[in-house]
Each structure stands twice: as structure tokens, then as C-alpha cells.
Amino acid sequence: MAAPTGKRKRDDSDDGSEDEGAVRARFQRAFEAKFKPLDVRKPSPSPELIVDDIEDDEDEEDLETSDWEGLSDDDGAVEVVELAVFPSHDASAIEREKKAFMSSRPPTLEGSAVRQPATTKEVAADDTEEKANLQHDLALQRLLKESHLLDPNSSTRSNINVEGRGRLKALDLRLKDLGAKAPVSTQEKMPLAHRKGITAKVVGREGKRRQEAAESGIVLEKAKFATKFSKPREKAIAGPMVGKFKGGTLSLGKQDLRTIQGPKQRGRGGRRGGKR
């Protein structure tokens, strides 16, 4: 349970109030000799001093208006106030605890291990500098990687941040670095005429390059011809496992025969033509 945290009365025992008054007066005179005269309020005849357990940082004007009059009349007895502090359960803490408690794992015996967020306050000072450095690094890396996009004869650009088509290309490159398969900018759907035009253009460009190379005597890599069928054709569902079934007859090709019979077995060395 909470410790009784009520108001605390300070006991006011005025033992040495006589000589204390004299000392106080002397101090006041000394002070006034140096500075402006003080406007002294008489202490109330029975000072009912109430001090809160938890004293807030009061403003100066509060101090002026409050009836606090110094650590004067305590007779040295220290009153200890125990303040029971319960962990403040703010919404996020409750949410976290709920997550921990309602998960499928048994809640840990040590209680909710409250994860403290990594202390970032100390590094906050040179954080901005770090950030700037990192950003510069990134910009440099990108510039090195994508500098070919800044080819001056492709268009007029001098900015690091490429724009327009170049920007899309740069984006594609970055995505490819991150592991993307197909570029984002390729259009999946388009009219057939467009598609044909594009492929024709690509083929034409390649042909032109080869022709120019041949004319100037440059040896290029071997031309790759696209295979007609990349995958083996799917067989009909009820079709035969081997061969073709057509017109009521199953015809087996050479390849089929080979797959059935397996590779030809040759005897080792002699015995050729011997009895089998």
C-alpha cells in the first residue's frame, strides 16, 4: 500500500527566538547598508507552515508570495517522509505489457521486461553532423553508380538529382541493387503494334551495330538467336507417355526409342559378335 502521503506540519518550537531575532536584525542592517532597504513582512503570529511532500520548482514570484520564511526554526530533527512510487503506467507501457502478457508464451517470471528504448539523447548533439555525413556518402555512392546516366550528350544535365527518364532509370538501378527482378519502368501492357515496333527497333539497332562492326572489321560476340520454345511443350492430359498418338496409331520416334531402350550397351573390349 501507499505510505500515508498527507500534508506534513512542521513543528514550530520557538526556543531561541529572542537572540535569533537580534541576529536577524543585525543581518538585515548589514544587508541594507550594502543594498536597497528590504520591505520586511512580519512573520505571522502562529506560522501554520505547510510543506508539500513533493515540492515543485516554483517560480520566483511564487517564492515571493509564499509564506516560506527560511530554514530558521527547525531544531535539527529530520523528518523522513517515505514516498512510495509506483511504476507509472502510461498507455504505451500498458500496451506493451498487454502484448507480453497476452502472447502465446508464458509471461516471464521476472515480470514484464520493459524494453528501454536505446538512449539517443547523448548522441543527439553530434547526431546532425553524422546524419549529414551519411547523406553525403549516399549521394556520392549514387553519383558513382549512376554517373553514366549523366552523359552530357544524352541530355543537358548537371544536377546530381537526375530528372525525367534519367530519374526512372536511376530508380530502376537502385531497385536492381536491392534485388528487384524486372525493372519498374517496363510497361507490361501495350498495344501489339507498339510492342512489335519496339522489338523491331531493338532488332534493327542490333543489326545496324553488327553491320557497322563488320564493315569496320571489328569482331563482335556471337549473335544469340532466341529459341522458339524455351520449355518442352506440355503434353495432352490423356495423351501417351511416349510417342505421338495419331490416327489410331502410336508412332515412336528415334528419341522415344532411345529413352525406352536406354543408352546402347557395348561390351568391353572383345566379344564383339559373340553369341548373346
Partner 1 sequence: MAAPTSAPQTLKFTGSKYLIQRLVLATLTGRAIRVSQIRASSHTSPGLAAHEVSFLRLLESITNGSHIEFSYTGTTLLYKPGLITGAATGHGLTTGGAIRHELPADCTRSASYFLIPLCLLAPFSKAQMNVLLTGPGVITSATETGDVSVDTIRTAILPLFKSFGIERNLELRILRRSNAGRDGKGGGGEVQLVFDHQVRLPKTIHLLDAGRIKRVRGVAYSTGVAGANNARLIEAARGVLNDLVPDTYIFSDISSAPLVAGLEKNNPGAKRKTGLGFGLSLVAESNTNMLYSADIASLPAGGEAPEDLGRKCAYQLLESIEAGGCASGVAATSVLTLMAMGSEDVGRITLSKDVVGSEQVVQLARDLRGFGMSGWGMREDDDGEIVVSIVGKGVGNVGRKIA
26 forms part of the interface with partner 1 (CB under 8 A): no
105 forms part of the interface with partner 1 (CB under 8 A): yes
Nearer to partner 1, 86 or 229 (CB): 86
CB of 3 to partner 1, least distance (A): 12
Residue of 109, 125, 144, 241 interacting with partner 1 (CB under 8 A): 109
Which among 64-72, 102-110, 139-147, 247-255 is the span making contact with partner 1, rule CB under 8 A? 102-110
DSSP states of 176-191 as a string?
A: HHHT-SS-TTS-S---
| Cβ count within 10 A of residue 50 | 11
Query: Do you know the residue count of the chain?
Result: 276
Number of residues that bind partner 1 (CB under 8 A): 18
What mask, x for binding partner 1 by CB under 8 A, covers residues 172 to 191? --------------------
* Residues of this chain, 29-88, that bind partner 1 according to CB under 8 A: 86-87
The whole-angstrom separation of Cα 144 and Cα 72 is 74
Nearer to partner 1, 7 or 89 (CB): 89
CB of 24 to partner 1, least distance (A): 46
Residue of 38, 71, 85, 102 interacting with partner 1 (CB under 8 A): 102
The whole-angstrom separation of Cα 238 and Cα 235 is 8
Nearer to partner 1, 22 or 102 (CB): 102
Give how far Cα 266 sits from Cα of 223, 257, 258, 269, Å. 39, 17, 15, 9
Residue of 21, 111, 204, 239 interacting with partner 1 (CB under 8 A): 111
Which among 63-71, 104-112, 146-154, 260-268 is the span making contact with partner 1, rule CB under 8 A? 104-112
Residue of 28, 108, 211, 251 interacting with partner 1 (CB under 8 A): 108
Nearer to partner 1, 72 or 112 (CB): 112
Nearer to partner 1, 2 or 33 (CB): 2
Interface with partner 1 (CB under 8 A): 1-2, 86-87, 89, 94, 97-98, 101-102, 104-111
